Amino acid sequence: MTMFTRRSFLQTSALATGAALLARSTPSYARTIGANDRLRIAVVGLNGRGKSHISGWSEQKNVEIAYLIDPDQQVLERSLADLKKKAGQKFAAKGLSDLRRALEDPTLDAISIATPNHWHSLMTIWGAQAGKHVYVEKPMSHDVAEGRAAVEAQKRYGIVIQHGTQRRSDEKIAGLHEAIQAGTFGKLKISYGYCCKPRDTIGMKAPSASPSHLDWNLWRGPAVTNYHPNLVHYNWHWFWKTGNGDMNNQGTHQLDVARWALDPKLTSPTRVMALGGRFKWNDQGETPNTMFALAEYPNGQHAFFNVRNVNYQGYLHQVENEYYFEDGGKIIRNQYFAKGSTTGEKLTIKPGKVTPGGNWGAFIAACRAGKPEMANGNVEEAHYGSVLGHLMNNSYRLGTKVPFNAKAGRFGDNKDAYEHFMKLHAIMRDGVGVPEDGTDYVVGPWLTFDPKTERHTGAFANEANALLADPRSPGFELPKRMGA
């Protein structure tokens, strides 16, 4: 490898040093796409969403999947065979275990990242350094600092970065948010997201040697963790060193929509708190299966979020967004309810501004045009949407146990927060059957955050700031200098 040596990536710096070096004005390094407009792309991470990436790019006109990349040899061989069967004579993909080898190819235009979360930002930065456009699954970052480094990499290298949040390509949602921000329904008070989909326990699996077909060093990458079978290939979501729980898994979609509806001048919240727990399952997972969280913004707007994964008879599936206005009106499931009304009016909204073509087509169009601003869910939108979830998660991670009852919610005079927390509490108590005697919530502290410096201040600042940047394995640090 000529571009990405270990020396190139040694010695991570904290955000301040890296950002200062990255932010210098630099022309785009992205390769000019040929006269025939053919775009060559590499898909990294071939399970789960990776399959959708392969399918999505295969359906785009004049797009060639040049590489399939995965550290699991069995997964790689299966994916190559599947693509060859579907592509027939058009099949031209090479199989690799290490993205860095593909990045050395001067004819490669873009990479498509569907790896576990802990890889997202570093691969995005590597792609930017190599002048490749990047489509990256949600969340773009595993922590706040690496997300900021990805933003600064895009600024320096000028490549297209699009976040894997398909709702950003939905002209109906875009139109609704344009109407909300224009004051059509009055001033928005609370933008609320739900990630309430049933999941199940993951049990317990003891640490062991990694299987011979898996390159564990490449799978682990930046994460400081040891192998155990519950990590590979999906349950890594429920461990803090590799995933971010459902808050920044499925929830990233609804978090991003919630933030999208707020005043567009806002970036990150100034205060956050969260409470919840991992109820009923008694398994190896670390992240909560139940959570209520809220964020306050400097203009008085709020984002609320609800994670609820424990299944039960009569479970209400909610993967959606709601909007509450200062005059008492609200929008729920595409209906507007005036204050005090139980009868909703169906919304008729003009389509909003998005780059057409859906999430896959919009990215290809932006790459061909060489215009990062065309991405539906650009790098800054990706960063701020992810940061919102990281901060909520970090409050929970710093929480203490209190008895599972209605008094657990410590929201001061925020009556709206208490009302919505009580709805969740009633479901967990009466539906799931969590007993109020002998069970606990984890209640996180209020964390104060400075959106400009992306650092915590005030109470718990030291503990919270320690969670803004994860420890990293040697050889997989964030670059100190882009293009070094």
pLDDT digits (tens, 9 = 90+) for 249-308: 999 999 999 999 999 999 999 999 999 999 999 999 999 999 999 999 999 999 999 999
pTM of this prediction?
Answer: 0.93
Q: What is the pLDDT of residue 36?
A: 72
Q: Which CATH number does the domain 189-353+386-465 belong to among 1.10.3470, 3.90.79, 3.30.360, 3.40.50?
A: 3.30.360
Q: What is the CATH number of domain 6-168+357-378?
A: 3.40.50.720
Render pLDDT for 130-143 as a digit per residue (tens, 0 to 9).
999 999 999 999 99
- What number of other Cβ atoms are within 10 A of residue 339's Cβ? 10
Return the SS3 of 29: coil
Nearest to 138 by CA among 354, 451, 479, 390: 390
Q: What is the pLDDT of residue 71?
A: 98
Q: What is the pLDDT of residue 438?
A: 87
Which residue ranges of the chain lie beneath pLDDT 50?
1-28, 35, 483-484
Q: What is the pLDDT of residue 110?
A: 98
Alpha-carbon distance 9 to 115, whole Å?
A: 20
| Pair type for strands 133-136 and 161-163 | parallel
Nearest to 147 by CA among 10, 321, 273, 22: 22
Alpha-carbon distance 233 to 219, whole Å?
A: 10
Which residue ranges make up each domain of the chain?
6-168+357-378, 189-353+386-465
Work out the burial of residue 243: count CB atoms within 10 Å of its CB; fewer than 13 is exposed, 13-18 middle, 19 or more buried: buried
> 197: which residues sit within 8 A by CB, 6+ positions away?
246, 250, 309, 317, 319
Torsion on CA atoms 14, 99, 72, 242, rounded to nearest 10: 20
HSE of 64, CA atoms in CB hemisphere, 13 A: 18
